[in-house]
Structure formats: C-alpha cells, structure tokens
Amino acid sequence: MPNRSETLAKAATLRAVFEAQGAVVVEPPILQPAETLLDLYGEDIRARAYVTSDALRGEQMLRPDYTVPVVQMHMAHGAEPARYTYAGEVFRRQERDLARANEFIQVGYEVFDRTDPAAADAEVFALISQALSGLGVKPVTGDIGILMAAVEGLETTQKRKDALMRHIWRPRRFRALLDRFSGKTAVPASRAALLAGDLHNDAPMIGLRSAQEIDDRIEALRADAAAPAISGEQVSLIAALLETREVMPNALSRLYDLAVDLPAISGAVDRVAARSDALAARGIDTATLVFDAGYGRVSMEYYDGFVFGFRADTRPDLPAVASGGRYDALTRRLGQGGEIPAVGGVMRPGLMLELEGMQ
C-alpha cells in the first residue's frame, strides 16, 4: 500500500496535468455547511458523511467530495469559461466495509464552459484516460440525460413523472414505481381501503401531520389511482433502453432505433453522438468504448448527462479508480438564477499507485 507522502506526490503530478490545461488550483475548506450540501448528494454519500455542529456555524460536514463546493464557489464569483483543479482529502464513513478507506486523496478537474459541451465532455474524459494509461483499467460511459428524457416523454401525469425522476438514482424504487404506475403490481390492501374511504374517521392522530395534510395526501393518492396506467409498450421501451450496453457504435445504432418509438430521447441521443465524435477527435477509440445506458444511477445524484468510470480489470474489489460526469442542473440549483454547462472528473492517486505496484 502506498504511504501518504507517495500519494500526495502522485496527486501533485496529476494536478499539474490539469494546471497545464489552464486550470486554476482551488482548495475549498474541509468543513462544509451541511444543511444545503447534503441534499445535493446521493443517498449513499449522505449516509456516509461525517457530520458535526456547533452553536455558531450550525451543522457542518467533512467534505465528501470537491465538486459541490467548487460549483458553489464558481457560481458565486467565477468567470466564464473556467477550469479548476484540486488535490486533497475527502471523507466518507465505511460502516459496511472496514477494509475501504474512510479518508483518501482525490484529484479532480472541473470545466465550466457553454461553448461546446460535447468537446468539454471529451476533454475531461480524454485527460483522465491518458493519466490512467498503462494501469489496466477499463472505462465505461453512459448518459443519465437519456433516461431523464424518456421519463419526461411518458404519456402519464406530471406527478408520476416527477416521482420517477426523483428515483432515477434508486433503480429498485424506480422499477417498483414504474410497475405500479403501469398496473403491473396491485395496490396494497391498506391503501385500497384508504382510497375507498373504508378506514375509520375516528382513528387517533399519530405523528406531526395535521388532519388537513392527511386529507390532502389521500386526495392526491385518489387522483393518482384514477390516472390511466402507463402503457406496457412504454414500460418495455424503458426496459430496453436500460438494457442497452454495447460498444459505442452499436449503442448509438440501438438508441436511434429506440428513438423511433421514444421520440423524446432523440435530442439526448444526438448529444451522445456528438460526444462520440468529440471523443474520437481526442484520440479515444470509440469502437471499443462501452456505453451503458443504465450506468451512473447509483452514484452522485447531481449528474444529469454524461457519466463515466474507470475500474481495474484485475481488482474488481476496488472502487472506481476515476469517475465523473456532467452536472448542468447543479449549477442551476446553486447559481441563484444563473447556470452554465459543467462537467468534471476525479481520480484516486492512492489506488493508481496500488495498481502500479502490481505491475
């Protein structure tokens, strides 16, 4: 295992690669305000954050990643276009696997540029791919935006679309909702009784909801139950989309076929095609690059477009050596009315050194 000084030296070397691209070095504080930022991470990261508090600053957390604080910093006073790089510790509790590090060094590169998003995606991916050359890692790419577009194109109520959209990053819950909205699974007996008005009105009030809030929730459930079911054809198309895992040329062919029956995804598929061209222009062999339409659904919930990861061939037990993606919506949430297309990626120099030591 590499020691701390070796890992820091490797991190400095990697960061210098991004500085050579014109990236500004940033170092957000280790302690970050928890109240706002925790909501921007996925369930997994939220559950693993180290949180503390004091009377003056309120709830704080040790930074679980760099991207969110860098976006917050940029949206407050950053210029356009902008490139940032960083190297330092991030912290995540590991209560289920004590063999995994709860503190590790992360090196990253973030690009804020509205000129050509496909080119920016390719820039980030290609630079990280080059840095990992020779380590025996394989990349996989995806695009969360395709599934988002498919959900928005469903012939159903906006409330059902909103519910599915909230659970895109929770595959089991997403599938359960899709089955329920399509009528594939039966309504639980307790809910059926509630919708039919068969529950006793004199039941005791338990919890913090008022009687009016409870009545409003029941009416919302009744309205949902009365909505037409999502067609089996549309459910099958979503399933076929999520099963798409091919090398890039084959994946694009498959996605364009699906777009005939799912026209809502056409724009998102065009963006994948533009990105493929940009990656090829950067020297990436797209003929062997894997595209998985379901990839990235259990990572950071702020990704809303391109996603990628690199894993070691010979060490499936290791987490991703590098990962990243596009997070345009995050800049909108933190931008106080402003937004800018943005993409970034991170590498773990400690894991890179470990792989180098195996060669």
Bridge-partner residues for 346, per DSSP?
A: 108, 323
pLDDT given at position 183: 87
Q: By mean pLDDT, which of 73-77, 139-143, 350-354 is the weakest? A: 73-77
Give, for 71, the enclosing helix (H) or strand (E).
helix 67-77
pLDDT given at position 251: 98
Q: Is 82 helix (H, G, I), strand (E, B) or coil?
A: strand
Taking residues 104-108, report their average pLDDT: 95
Position 221 pLDDT exceeds 70: no
- Name residue 209's amino acid: R
Q: Residue 158 class from Cβ within 10 Å (0-12 exposed, 13-18 middle, 19+ buried)?
A: exposed
Task: Output 52 or 190, whichever has higher pLDDT.
Answer: 52
Residue at token pair 């957390």: 61
Q: How far apart are CA 228 and CA 19, in angstroms?
A: 55
pLDDT given at position 303: 92
Q: How far apart are CA 105 and CA 321, in angstroms?
A: 11
Q: How far apart are CA 32 and CA 51, in angstroms?
A: 9
Position 56 pLDDT exceeds 60: yes
Predicted confidence band of residue 214 (pLDDT cuts 50, 70, 90): low
Predicted confidence band of residue 33 (pLDDT cuts 50, 70, 90): confident
pLDDT given at position 14: 97
pTM over 0.75: yes
Position 82 pLDDT exceeds 90: yes
Give, for 332, the enclosing helix (H) or strand (E).
helix 328-334
Q: Is 258 helix (H, G, I), strand (E, B) or coil?
A: helix
Task: Output 53 or 323, whichever has higher pLDDT.
Answer: 323
Position 41 pLDDT exceeds 90: no
In this structure, the number of other CB atoms found within 10 A of the CB of residue 331 comes to: 20
Q: Is 101 helix (H, G, I), strand (E, B) or coil?
A: coil
**Sheet arrangement for strand 306-312:** 24-25, 82-91, 103-112, 342-347, 322-326, 306-312, 137-143, 290-292, 245-247
Position 212 pLDDT exceeds 80: no
Mean pLDDT of the chain: 88
Tokens of 23: 């990236």
Q: How far apart are CA 159 and CA 185, in angstroms?
A: 19
In this structure, the number of other CB atoms found within 10 A of the CB of residue 343 comes to: 27
Q: How far apart are CA 36 and CA 51, in angstroms?
A: 13
pLDDT given at position 354: 93
Give, for 180, the enclosing helix (H) or strand (E).
helix 171-181
Position 203 pLDDT exceeds 60: no
Predicted confidence band of residue 299 (pLDDT cuts 50, 70, 90): confident
Q: How far apart are CA 289 and CA 139, in angstroms?
A: 7
pLDDT given at position 243: 97
Domain residue extents for the chain: 1-136+313-359, 138-160+232-311, 161-231
Task: Quick: pLDDT tens for 234-281.
Answer: 999 999 999 999 999 999 999 999 999 999 999 999 999 999 999 999
What are the backbone angles phi and psi of residue 61, rounded to the nearest 5°?
A: -140, 150
For the domain made up of 1-136+313-359, the CATH class stated in words is alpha beta
Task: Output 144 or 300, whichever has higher pLDDT.
Answer: 144
pLDDT given at position 124: 98
Tokens of 110: 């973030």
Task: Output 331 or 196, whichever has higher pLDDT.
Answer: 331
Task: Quick: pLDDT tens for 114-172.
Answer: 999 999 999 999 999 999 999 999 999 999 999 999 999 999 999 999 999 999 988 99
Task: Output 155 or 79, whichever has higher pLDDT.
Answer: 155
pLDDT given at position 167: 93
Task: Quick: pLDDT tens for 279-296.
Answer: 999 999 999 999 999 999
